[in-house]
Amino acid sequence: MEKVFIGLGSNLSEPQKQLRSALAAMEEIPDCRLLRCSSFYHSAPIGPGEQPDYVNAVVELECALTPIELLDQLQTIEQAHGRERSVRWGARTLDLDVLLFGEQQLDETRLQVPHPRMAERNFVLQPLAELDPQLQLPSGERLQQLLQDCPQNRLEKF
């Protein structure tokens, strides 16, 4: 079983409700166990056009699936929540990102782990630090240093 961290985000169709529903769906993923979820956070949108603010969180799983098998499960959950992939970084009902998968480093067409932009996103780093403040990434970078170097971007815990 690998320790896995998943980032959750939504800014459409009742975002808090979307995240709660996604949590329930993640509890049903075979060969995975949802251990805990961070607090929910409001964050400013990143991406094109005018968008509503996001609600974000991070969950910790124990998982016996491969990274791609887990990605497939997460994308099925996104689709069940009405996710459309028409505009990159556009508004969305649900976004589920594999942030970390144990100590693995992957650079595949469909999946990069650690998530390639997590160091730039306080809406990922802050909830991640809530779950594991002493976390060290597979690259050796310390989460606390990444958090210290990251812009705040209107992040609010609620």
CA 47/CA 102 separation, integer angstroms: 29
Which amino acid does the sequence have at 17? K
53 a catalytic residue = no
Catalytic residue among 53, 92, 110, 121: 92
92 a catalytic residue = yes
Catalytic residue among 20, 53, 83, 132: 83
Cα→Cα distances 156→94, 115, 126, Å: 19, 22, 10
88 a catalytic residue = no
Catalytic residue among 20, 95, 121, 154: 95
97 a catalytic residue = yes
Q: What are the residue ranges of helices labelled H in the chain? A: 15-26, 67-80, 122-131, 143-149
Q: What are the residue ranges of helices labelled H in 15-142? A: 15-26, 67-80, 122-131
Catalytic residue among 97, 142, 149, 154: 97
| Active site members | 83, 92, 95, 97
